[in-house]
Amino acid sequence: MAVTSPPSTRAGLGSEPQVPATKGGLAGRVFAGLSTGAGILILVVLAAVAVFLVIEAWPALTASPEELQEISWFKADSLLAYVGPLVFGTLLASILALAIAVPVSVGIALFISHYAPRRLAQGLGYLIDLLAAIPSVVYGLWGALWLLPILNPFFTWLSGTLGFIPLFAGYQAPAKNIMSASIVLAVMILPIITAVSREVFLQTPVLHEEASLALGATRWEMVRMAVLPFGRSGVISASMLGLGRALGETMAVLMVISPGFLYSLFLLKPGQQQTIAANIASKFPEASGLAVSTLIATGLALFVITFVVNMIARWIIARRKEFSGAN
């Protein structure tokens, strides 16, 4: 039996040496043109967005703090001091969401790929994919109207019992805090992380699995020694996809959180943190002039963060490449 070939086609998008274009194949050339065009288009769109953000944010970037302070809601000393807490809140909410979602997602993905009977696995897979199709405003409504009352007794207990840890101190009902927002975000990013992880786990070479079983490993040991190392970089890229969604999520956060503009690690206190996207959605409808530029400047910051996050993810994947065999 031939060795199962690793899915090498997934590696190095775009870096493949071009097959020399053979003459005469009109369809071939049209297709090559179309796909090149599509590739260029995405770059153009990205550049256009970046240029738009910089141009629109320029008045705010160059304005003096005094000018900015004329905006009624601008209470910081400088633009940087205004964006800072927002960046902090955005990252905190996303990382918390990731911390909740990744273990659960990996668990679900492993269950589907290695534990569940095939029929159940299929049904469960569809269900998870369905979760991904729910619009975020629906998640927001669900979070605000259904989840918050349910979290209330749990948070009350948490703050009462572990309140001596600052992280959990100062809870106040209703549960409109960053923890709730992160839980809603976690549910939102669960499907994408699960779906990608599942695909990666399914691609573990059967030979590896059988080998470890043959050596007397239990199923858990097989998963630990064969599946997880193989899928690690896949799980990381899945997490980064999820993180990308969490970073930019607007409606769910807007509807669930009581915003504040502090560098605060109080997870259960209201009015401590706010995310960039939710802040823009909240303030944009009534903003005009310099206020719009300021909001777009925060959008620019979000754009940069997303870029950085993606670059870090690429770097992690590249670093792990040789060990995992997934690429």
d(CA 9, CA 226): 21
For residues 266 and 88, the answer to whether their CB atoms sit within 8 Å is no
The one-letter code for the residue type at 228 is: L
Asked if 231 touches another protein (CB under 8 A), the answer is no
State yes or no: residue 296 binds another protein (CB under 8 A): no
Q: Is residue 144 near another protein by the rule CB under 8 A?
A: yes
Window contacting another protein (CB under 8 A); options: 91-99, 147-155, 206-214, 296-304: 147-155
- Give the Cα separation of 50 and 181 in Å (integer): 28
Per CB under 8 A, does 72 bind another protein? Answer: yes
Alpha-carbon dihedral sign for residues 155, 161, 163, 168 = negative
What does the alpha-carbon distance between residue 273 and residue 265 come to, in Å, rounded to a whole number? 9
Which among 13-21, 222-230, 280-288, 297-305 is the span making contact with another protein, rule CB under 8 A?
A: 280-288
Instruction: Among 41, 145, 215, 308, indicate the residue that binds another protein (CB under 8 A).
Output: 145
Binding mask 15-54 for another protein (x = CB under 8 A): ----------------------------------------
Cα 108 to Cα 105, 147, 191, distances in angstroms: 5, 22, 10
Residue 149 lies near another protein (rule: CB under 8 A): yes
136: its two tokens: 């975020």
Q: Residue 268 interacts with another protein (CB under 8 A)?
A: no
Stretch that binds another protein, among 40-48, 107-115, 131-139, 268-276 (CB under 8 A): 268-276
Q: Report if residue 293 touches another protein, rule: CB under 8 A.
A: no
Distance CA 19, CA 50 (A): 33
- On the question of a cis peptide bond just before residue 174, with omega within 30 degrees of 0, the verdict is yes
Q: Least Å distance between CB 247 and another protein? A: 20
Neighbours of 78 (CB within 10 A): 14
Distance of alpha carbon 12 from alpha carbon 38, whole angstroms: 18
Rounded to the nearest whole angstrom, what is the least distance from the CB of residue 264 to another protein in the complex? 8
Q: In the complex with another protein, which residue's Cβ is closer, 261 or 303?
A: 261
Q: Which is nearer to another protein, 14 or 285 (CB)?
A: 285
**Pair of tokens at residue 4:** 């199962």
Rounded to 10 degrees, the C-alpha dihedral 247/248/252/258 comes to 70
**Segment interacting with another protein, rule: CB under 8 A, options 96-104, 110-118, 218-226, 267-275:** 267-275
The yes or no reply on residue 282 touching another protein (CB under 8 A) is yes
3-state secondary structure of 174: coil
**Listed ranges 25-33, 93-101, 226-234, 256-264: which one lies at the site for another protein (CB under 8 A):** 256-264
User: How far is 132 from 146, CA to CA, in rounded Å?
Assistant: 19
CB atoms within 10 A of CB 256: 30
- On whether the CB atoms of residues 197 and 237 are closer than 8 A, the answer is no
Interface positions, 168-227, toward another protein (CB under 8 A): 172-174, 176
Is 73 an interacting residue with respect to another protein (CB under 8 A)? yes
Please give the single-letter amino acid code of residue 183: I
Q: Does 295 bind another protein (CB under 8 A)?
A: no
Site for another protein contains 254 (CB under 8 A): yes
Could you identify the residue written with the tokens 């629109």?
Answer: 56
With binding defined as CB under 8 A, does residue 269 bind another protein? yes
What is the smallest separation between the CB atom of 243 and another protein, expressed in angstroms?
A: 24
The residues of the shown chain that bind another protein, judged by CB under 8 A, are 72-73, 75, 144-145, 148-149, 152, 172-174, 176, 254-255, 258-262, 269-272, 282-283, 285-289
